[in-house]
Amino acid sequence: MRKKIVSVVGARPNFIKIAPLHKAFSEMTEIISHKICHTGQHFDKKMSDVFFTELELPKPDYFLGVSGGSHAQQTAQIILEFEKVLLFEKPDLVIVVGDVNSTMACALVASKLNVPIAHIEAGLRSFDREMPEETNRKITDVLSDYLFVTEQCGIDNLLKEGVDEQKIFFVGNVMIDSLYNYLPQAKRSPICKELSIKPEDYILVTFHRPSNVDDFESLVQLQNFLNKLSELKTVVFPIHPRTRSNFEKHCLMNGLNTNIRLTDPIGYIDFIALQLHALLVITDSGGIQEETTALNVQCLTVRNNTERPVTVEIGTNQLIGTNYDRVIEESIKIINGQLKTGSLPYLWDGKSASRIAGIIINKLVS
């Protein structure tokens, strides 16, 4: 009898991480039935639907339609809706990825119903409790039966928290599996031509974290920073729906310089191309720290902490803090050729999904 697995996706990074795993399970259909549940946490079509198409994911078996609202409202609604899915499907395993509200909410439901849980990207810690993602990570790891780790710090953190080492598996990074798989297509992307930018002659910028974009003072500081940055190089700024909404609410959009290429959220393959050809990437994202390290592209992370320290320790990422004057100073150094040398983290080889699938099959079938 085939074993049934339900994987949960809710936000843009989840799709990237589940895609290679779905492909691996698709080669095991005689023993595995793999279903995908999309909570709807990212409801913007440019943030969701396009990713399913580009990553060759099938239409989700379930779409919960939960979006918007506060963290509590969103989490509660996902719990209510996902419980119905599990009661109907009765799966042998639930897979959750990353650290978004969908991850924690669905892990909680599975735990209450005694369904085993696998957490992909387990053990990462920023040690910043003001980040809602940190709460999601810690709760999900406590509840999970299989903890799949991307870097050594994940193992160290879990062991310090008292997790049974038999539950921990160092498998590498499935996000990098997707990156390598679609890199040939990204190299053929026309996005630079469409935006009238020259490769290695622009700075790619993304900002979406509440601490950077949710209040007026922070937004004014971000606007001033972007304008100063655009005096150094052309700035490409794919604007997150949250960021755009806050800029528009405070009537700040018209204050951005013309040398800032402001775009809607960009599809996965085109965004990989933008990272690949950028002189520098400036971000407050988590996954972009990893992708730039894998692509050997300079990255400045505008945060006071990172849950992905390997990208700083051996990668091309620099944790720069939230002082925009310092970000400008470091940007100028990179523009002038002072580059950080990076190397590829252990097991970031494009084979993580195969390792995860093999472990899961061994556990479920044996």
Alpha helices in 56-214 (DSSP H): 71-89, 101-112, 132-143, 152-160, 174-187, 191-194, 210-213
Q: How far apart are CA 210 and CA 279, in angstroms?
A: 26
Q: How far apart are CA 239 and CA 17, in angstroms?
A: 22
Contacts of 29 (CB under 8 A, 6+ apart): 2
Host H or E run for residue 362: helix 352-365
Q: Whose structure tokens read 């924690």?
A: 104
Q: How far apart are CA 122 and CA 114, in angstroms?
A: 20
CB-based burial, 336-360: b 16+ in 10 Å, e otherwise: eeeeeebeebebbebbbbbbbbeeb
Q: How far apart are CA 278 and CA 272, in angstroms?
A: 10
At 200, list the tokens.
């290695």
Question: Positive or negative CA dihedral for 222, 214, 281, 67?
Answer: negative
Nearest to 75 by CA among 123, 129, 132: 132
DSSP 8-state secondary structure symbol assigned to residue 342: -
At 267, list the tokens.
């599809």
Nearest to 293 by CA among 317, 269, 263: 317
Catalytic site residue 208? Answer: yes
Active-site hit among 22, 34, 42, 208: 208
Active site residues: 208
